């Protein structure tokens, strides 16, 4: 173990948060980054699996975890952090650095997703921050789709990423898109409709890459079917102004469903409503990798 003058030289190469300033990625750098991510995840699981908290207590813990999660991620060296808008840097990045940055970025977003998904007094609610995080996670999956050649023998298993990060985010966005399309007068969160429809369409293609021999294949197939049905319904609906200007008796559509109405009452029986109800209410901290329909 280093000591004395040698130890001082090493300490001088670290920033105020203990990260190396050399610009190099060492094995210890990677381990330290994942250790910090795991500490946040451990606290999320403690809340999720522990005794129920009041809505106020949950909100306090949620705010604290969000703050610490952001501090941990943005204090990491530049070499570990994914910058979505830095296209030039992406092109010159090695396969190892790309995989590592994407893995940490997606895990950071997954922590935020789970924090926002913590139940308020025993019930789940969808808020803007959850939707925004889900969009970032799905964007990350699409980046992986476009760069699959960089994932070989590196930090990310593509199918695992689809199941672990893609399905939870796509589930939230699909359900909210369907609800808001059916009930445009009762928007609770802001959704960029065009972007989400395009990204979900690409994600359907990613789900088709999952082979029958892969784990959670059945879950991926059912998710693909449900997203396709949702997009069919969303795209078949007339524009909101058209629906609002036509009376129910003269329209081919029923009255818009309230945003809190059960998903099974929005979809028809052919759309596997039980599966979508599960997607809408699942506790991803408990069931994230369970294939309940194998």
Which class for 162: exposed (0-12), middle (13-18), buried (19 or more C-beta within 10 A)? buried
CA 289 to chain centre: 14
Tokens at 120, concatenated:
């308020």
pLDDT digits (tens, 9 = 90+) for 29-38: 999 999 999 9
Domain that holds residue 47: 26-81+92-239+257-287
- 86 part of a folded domain: no
Write out the chain in H/E/C secondary structure: CCCHHHHHHHHHCECCCCCECCCCCCHHHHHHHHHHHHHHHHHHHHHHHCCCCCHHHHHHHHHHHHHHHHHHHHCCCHHHCCCCCCHHHHHHCCHHHHHHHHHHHHHHHHHHHHHHCCCECCECCCCHHHHHHHHHHHHHHHHHHHCHHHCCCCCCCHHHHHHHHHHHHHHHHHHHHHHHHHCHHHCCCCCCHHHHHHHHHHHHHHHHCCCCCCCCHHHHHHHHHHHHHHHHHHHHCCCHHHHHCCCHHHCCCCCCCCCCCCHHHCCCHHHCHHHHHHHHHCCHHHHCCCCCCC
Q: Which residues of 73-84 are buried (b: 16+ CB within 10 A; e: fewer)?
A: beebbebbbbee
What total number of domains does the chain contain?
1
Residue 119: inside a domain: yes
Looking at 45-49, 121-125, 161-165, which range is the least confident one?
A: 121-125
Does residue 273 lie within any of the structural domains?
yes
Asked, for residue 294, whether it belongs to a domain, the answer is no
pTM, 2 dp = 0.81
- Residue keyed to tokens 């059916």: 182
Q: Tell me: the pLDDT tens digits for 202-250?
A: 999 999 888 888 878 888 998 998 899 899 988 887 655 444 444 444 4
Contact call for residues 113 and 120 (beta carbons, < 8 A)? no
Q: Per the structure block, which two tokens stand in for 189?
A: 């969160």
User: Residue 279's pLDDT is what?
Assistant: 62
Q: How far is CA 152 from the centre of its chain?
A: 23
Please check whether residue 276 lies inside any domain of the structure.
yes
What's the rounded mean pLDDT across residues 170-198? 86
| Domain membership flag for residue 244 | no
Task: Identify whether 207 is part of a domain.
Answer: yes
Give the mean pLDDT of the chain. 80
Domain-embedded: residue 262: yes
Round to whole Å and give the CA distance between 112 and 66: 7
- In this structure, what token pair is assigned to residue 121? 């007094």
* Per-residue pLDDT at 108 exceeds 60: yes
């Amino acid at each position: 173990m280093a000591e004395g003058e040698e130890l001082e030289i090493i300490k001088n190469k670290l920033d105020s948060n203990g990260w190396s300033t050399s610009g190099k990625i060492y094995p210890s750098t990677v381990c330290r980054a994942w250790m910090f991510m795991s500490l946040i995840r451990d606290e999320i699981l403690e809340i999720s699996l522990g005794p129920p908290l009041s809505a106020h207590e949950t909100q306090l813990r949620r705010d604290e975890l969000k703050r610490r999660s952001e501090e941990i991620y943005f204090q990491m060296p530049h070499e570990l952090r994914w910058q979505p808008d830095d296209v030039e840097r992406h092109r010159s990045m090695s396969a190892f650095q790309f995989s590592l940055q994407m893995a940490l970025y997606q895990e950071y977003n997954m922590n935020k997703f789970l924090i926002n998904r913590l139940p308020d007094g025993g019930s789940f609610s969808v808020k803007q921050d959850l939707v925004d995080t889900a969009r970032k996670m799905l964007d990350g999956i699409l980046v992986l789709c476009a760069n699959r050649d960089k994932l070989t023998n590196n930090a990310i298993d593509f199918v695992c990423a689809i199941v672990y990060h893609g399905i939870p985010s796509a589930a939230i966005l699909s359900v909210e898109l369907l609800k808001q399309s059916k009930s445009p007068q009762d928007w609770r969160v802001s959704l960029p409709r065009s972007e989400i429809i395009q990204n979900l369409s690409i994600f359907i293609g990613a789900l088709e890459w999952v082979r029958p021999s892969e784990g959670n294949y059945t879950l991926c197939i059912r998710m693909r079917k449900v997203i396709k049905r949702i997009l069919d319904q969303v795209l078949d609906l007339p524009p909101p102004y058209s629906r609002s200007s036509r009376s129910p008796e003269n329209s081919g559509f029923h009255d818009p469903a309230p945003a809190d109405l059960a998903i099974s009452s929005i979809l028809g029986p052919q759309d596997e409503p039980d599966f979508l109800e599960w997607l809408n209410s699942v506790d991803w901290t408990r069931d994230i990798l369970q294939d309940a329909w194998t």
